[in-house]
Structure 1
């Protein structure tokens, strides 16, 4: 090892494959926010000193420490990703803070097996934290052993004077409580440092009787600040106030914004049958055919040097090509009035124009990466952050980003999307993207099955719109099925049959032929009313999100609109729609539905549905936070504007207003009072009906009290299921268990109907359960009188109603409430009311 206070050669502190920071599965490290460095995927269980020096900081959990080399370079060594979560378990510190160490000395012993089981990744980092004084030169090594040369550290030459800080400026300061999980350890400290470096002011963090400059990573970590501790931030300089606000925001970011949860493989769910994989239905249908495995683009290692200007130009050209392709897709979707498709790819276009993605890729190119690898790494880093949030909407956006990753990579590599599908193929993949699905649909794929994915993702929405059977969350086993193997995809029941007999194949073809004939008969009767055999009328309405969808619903025989989601007016835009735009949109929906009634839900954003122009506090658990009616209470002007627009539609008698996420009577009364005041202002003598969504258990339990003041109740079984069962319905490992036919859900539905009946109110269901033909007799039996379904299922659900006896449904449904599980309920339903 040479050391002349200018150049230092560091030896490897671990043995294993060497990675660049861009390959590290953590956005903070990969983005160089903590500084430049290198990573090793360790094969040994002990961290050694890379040089002579002094230990200047040791994490209390033992997973990280910082050494100051004799030439002044400060090196952070961080074992594994998310190891702070172990609180020291599996780590044995062999040195103390302030200790003098020599090159190769053992510093930390760790339990490799325990870390592998408990943490996201074993990849360990060596980061230069004072990069303003030194620079790194990694040596070209693919793998190293402890003690072998790893990289050089060179002193930077100082040119000119640093920008002077206006010390005469007043000091701006504020106190804030630390919400980062585990306190201000390495990664949160890096974010604080990165924020501070964006301003010219001098910023310091004060904790107890200690303080540290915010641009010093080691200094911040050395303060020993824990989760929940209160600190003071002070900023002095011309932009001190702006710096203070930015640092407060960075310090109070909830843990989920930085914590990346371990990504476990989706388990294969148990099945009573051999050679059957069980997943979750995303789009119903029954098909058979050869399985075709679709793999994404895999890039080789990035070897060699690249001309920065050339790579930037390549990226710009590829981005413009993909923008053009998406604009063409949008134009075709608008022409064919495919609203879901249009909304999905409009969101893709907005994501592609996000400057943060391009900036991250450009920065990687400037660090020597090829454009392909720079774009892949920028996308993967952002996906990691989104998935760490643990929210369905963000997981969906991560899939959209992966779509853009593949499309831009194809453009960079000069590859068109082209796969020769064998006739009648069922396509399998880890997770497909929306553009994949459009291409596969155009190539006449007959079914889709995925190892991961959720039933409410953009891919699932498109599959339902295309009538393409789709099963998600099948687990990694589906990827091991040999290419070309003949399978049966029973999507309605979430099953993939891996070894069907010839008799089973013949049966599937027979069933499909019978279903096709049945659908034709159902469609012919779709415009007729739905009445049970004992003459109970059930209204079958449609869930829609635009006037174009409403027209499709009307043409398919809908008795009205049971749910218009008004979010389509508010999302993926930079400013809120004004009153006039809203009124025109609502009027268009009423016009498209002829003389039938339309239920319009007030805006349900907030929580995990963020709007660019509506800044809301970052929440640790958005699904339990400000959303629906709660958000309207915080921003009443939004609800006021929407109510005014709704009160101007004609005829007002056909407009019904529905309030989302209500959990107590006072919330309903406040909106009813405001509605009355607005009617008086507009000199209206007629009042639209006002209903309440039952989508939280509290509302179901309070149904009788709510029905006293509401005109109708509408049950949202999607949210009611996940809130009642405490399971995220888009969690790949739990999705199969989030079943609205669970007896607990049925009890809440029964209680809602009984409470509403006390005041003569009707109850509808607008969640996914309404579209499940197996559930139709149960809902009718429990007292539901309106089912709001997907427009394409109206004929099927009406036909199901016409074959039921409501009195028998009432009798049998009561017995279902005493069953032990959703599976038992489904089995009983199949027995009592078999699906033909």
Structure 2
């Protein structure tokens, strides 16, 4: 029965003894990750409504139902534990989603004996899933009968919840398939939260019989949503429809860094395979030697208790604010350097730092007498345990992000120095390092890192690969038993840490390190000279960049030009589109950074896996086959016209080249050329920039000759061309390794593109990832490619590769490669004909 608009007394939905959630034999419910509530060990066979309300979710398997009470509290009524596995057998749902129910109305019946024999436990739960707005106060902890007073629901005090939460408004819902590799772990959950917070509406994610608010990263991770799972999203409020569409897009768009060509292999380590050697898993390749240095985590002394509650609350708030500012600085630095991986990782950390599940648990511990440091540490430890018990290796690895936040906040609370005491060139050993640890150690010049725990897909592994820092994980507890200071060899290429290397082995490793360093220096010394084959064929080695800063780096590294400027950097992470003036200045800055060298600027390529806040697009079942690239320009022509006007105002115009993405037919090219001519006339210009077409769908490759008749050049985007040709999503965890651009079918399309362009005297470049693969360089030259656009650090290496090739020989051998049966066969042949040095 309601007491007022906010408070509510719930009656018992079942008869039986009561348990607190902490005593429920289920890690997620017991941790409070799902919210406040209570449990009943039922003695009857019918579940009743604890209050008046609306049915907002019915479990597919009929064992759970979620109600929204009239005061806005959302109540999950869950009969038994792991009963979802019964697939509805023994359950009979008596209400439908959307139905209005009264206090005491029967919601579902079940076969008490049948279900009890087959489920983990009959213990049933009543949980407030929007616990960020409400808290539960038990009226009794004794046994109850159906209809007796059970819980008092109270709205949280002002300041504990969002002031803009809607109490009225439409509710909309939709379903989507989760595409994120490994399911909804920390980073994608943080993106969902970030998306939800842009809207006034309240949003929830429903999976199976569980629900979580979209503004709680821990709540969403607690759902243990797997890759390719279907989830239900509900939004209620004045902007519910917009919120729903945005959330569906976020949930259906895989993270860019989830697929890497260099994703390390994972194998079960054999810790006793060889005396003096620990076997692990390669997280980042490399071969180094140095002294072993052990890092210890922060250990807290025993908490005597009896602290001033408000003082400890204030200490924790100040520490959280300090760490939040520190992470903000890290984020800004990552953005300035355009390090997408770092941005994604530390954005997720910032979201976790604000997570209501973590904060509520910590403040509750303080209220119970704990010191701030112990309360925060306990809150983190509980959530780490929850993630470890969810049965997902990836989620268990994500617990490391929580441990990172534990360390950072404790350092502030305890006043410990942030700088590690490690010498330059050391090999660091630890139980498990955190992302911020890794950044700090990299800045201090360590040679490599190795961990007793950890995984090859962890955030630390991603950062280590990005920094070129050799890293081994999963070495086992034996790592922590090694005496510090001993000289070891970290051979991440072969998954081993050599504890007792001979003098001969140390000499060999040091020579290999010196040779690699000398080779890099040699490549860089010749990076500014042209790339010309031994038989006199010039190949332009350009760079893929996303800003004027990266263009400057490319110029310093010897780039012959910019082969691909991704203009999306101007349009993303903002609430309004850049105007014509801002765009012109940005494009001009790139041209200026490249001196007298040409710059190819791709028109905006959003849609698909790249979404804009201010450009709402309808949810698409398969976004990569939907409105993206030039197709978006067709439905929003004002965006393209504005961009073309900005490009036409750059100087000198003859160094500016325009590239059109996702072209599939000649008319699309002709239309843009007509717009370019019309806008040039409006601006009183007598010249036009070169206009090129990106070949990234099979249709464009097959029409290359017709496109080349009207285009000034063609540029092959092998990333998309691979997935479209092979019908394999390059963001699919199980298929990504097979999306290989050296597949003979891709090579045939490249050959056809080059042949078609040659008939009209047009040149062909490659700006996809294949251009950066030294193994592919001779094949591409042999097929007729005359420009390769690569990442700036690889310019010297690729130029050196070209200088050792005979173009005529490349042509003869590459023609034969078209007849091989697989990408693996092509790679094997390339190693035989053109071995890498």
TM bucket (normalised to shorter chain) is: 0.5 to 0.7
| Cross-structure match for 2:828 | 827
Compute the displacement of 1:612 (Å).
Answer: 3.5
CA distance, structure 2, for counterparts of residue 178 and residue 478 of structure 1: 44
Compute the displacement of 1:538 (Å).
Answer: 0.3
SS in 2 for 1:179: strand
| Cross-structure match for 2:708 | 707
The 3 A distance-change label for structure 1 pair 745 and 307 is: farther
CA contact (8 A) 1:777 1:801 kept: yes
Compute the displacement of 1:635 (Å).
Answer: 3.1
| Cross-structure match for 1:644 | 645
TM-score (norm 1): 0.68
Cα deviation digits, residues 732-756 of structure 1 (max 9, x gap) = 6655444433334333333332332
| Cross-structure match for 1:439 | 440
CA distance, structure 1, for counterparts of residue 44 and residue 713 of structure 2: 73
Where does the alignment leave 5 or more consecutive residues of structure 2 unmatched?
A: 1-8, 50-54, 69-73, 95-105, 156-167, 179-192, 203-228, 367-371
| Cross-structure match for 1:677 | 678
Compute the displacement of 1:809 (Å).
Answer: 0.9
Q: Does 1:49 align with 2:50?
A: no
CA contact (8 A) 2:765 2:789 kept: yes
The 3 A distance-change label for structure 1 pair 516 and 363 is: closer
| Cross-structure match for 1:756 | 757
1:150-229 matched pairs, under 5 angstroms: 154-156=150-152, 178-179=174-175
CA contact (8 A) 1:11 1:148 kept: yes
| Cross-structure match for 1:30 | 33
The 3 A distance-change label for structure 1 pair 422 and 124 is: farther
SS in 2 for 1:741: coil
SS in 2 for 1:340: coil
Compute the displacement of 1:567 (Å).
Answer: 2.3
SS in 2 for 1:693: strand
| Cross-structure match for 1:317 | 318
Cα deviation digits, residues 180-236 of structure 1 (max 9, x gap) = 679xxxxxxxx9xx99xx999xxxxxxxxxxxxxxxxxxxxxxxxxx99x9x99xxx
CA distance, structure 1, for counterparts of residue 433 and residue 797 of structure 2: 28
Compute the displacement of 1:488 (Å).
Answer: 4.6
CA distance, structure 1, for counterparts of residue 655 and residue 815 of structure 2: 34
SS in 1 for 2:613: coil
Cα deviation digits, residues 375-415 of structure 1 (max 9, x gap) = 8599999999xxx9x9xxx9x99999997676446435655
The 3 A distance-change label for structure 1 pair 77 and 314 is: same
The 3 A distance-change label for structure 1 pair 818 and 101 is: closer
CA contact (8 A) 1:530 1:802 kept: yes
The 3 A distance-change label for structure 1 pair 288 and 666 is: farther
| Cross-structure match for 1:204 | none
| Cross-structure match for 2:519 | 518
Where does the alignment leave 5 or more consecutive residues of structure 1 unmatched?
A: 40-46, 116-121, 142-146, 160-171, 183-190, 201-226, 234-241
The 3 A distance-change label for structure 1 pair 31 and 524 is: same
Compute the displacement of 1:652 (Å).
Answer: 0.4
CA contact (8 A) 1:351 1:401 kept: no
SS in 1 for 2:89: strand
TM-score (norm 2): 0.68
Cα deviation digits, residues 270-298 of structure 1 (max 9, x gap) = 999x899898997x754355788989889
| Cross-structure match for 2:376 | 372
Compute the displacement of 1:832 (Å).
Answer: 1.2
CA contact (8 A) 2:283 2:461 kept: no
| Cross-structure match for 1:340 | 338
Residue of structure 1 aligned with 2:240, choices 242, 246, 250:
246
CA distance, structure 1, for counterparts of residue 810 and residue 760 of structure 2: 23
| Cross-structure match for 1:717 | 718
CA RMSD of aligned residues (A): 6.0
SS in 1 for 2:354: helix
CA distance, structure 2, for counterparts of residue 349 and residue 580 of structure 1: 32
Which range moved further: 362-371 or 505-514? 362-371
Which range moved further: 688-697 or 784-793? 688-697
CA contact (8 A) 2:245 2:619 kept: no
CA distance, structure 2, for counterparts of residue 260 and residue 764 of structure 1: 28
CA contact (8 A) 2:26 2:81 kept: no
The 3 A distance-change label for structure 1 pair 154 and 445 is: same
The 3 A distance-change label for structure 1 pair 690 and 729 is: same
SS in 1 for 2:676: helix
Aligned residues, how many? Answer: 716
| Cross-structure match for 1:496 | 495
CA distance, structure 1, for counterparts of residue 332 and residue 172 of structure 2: 49
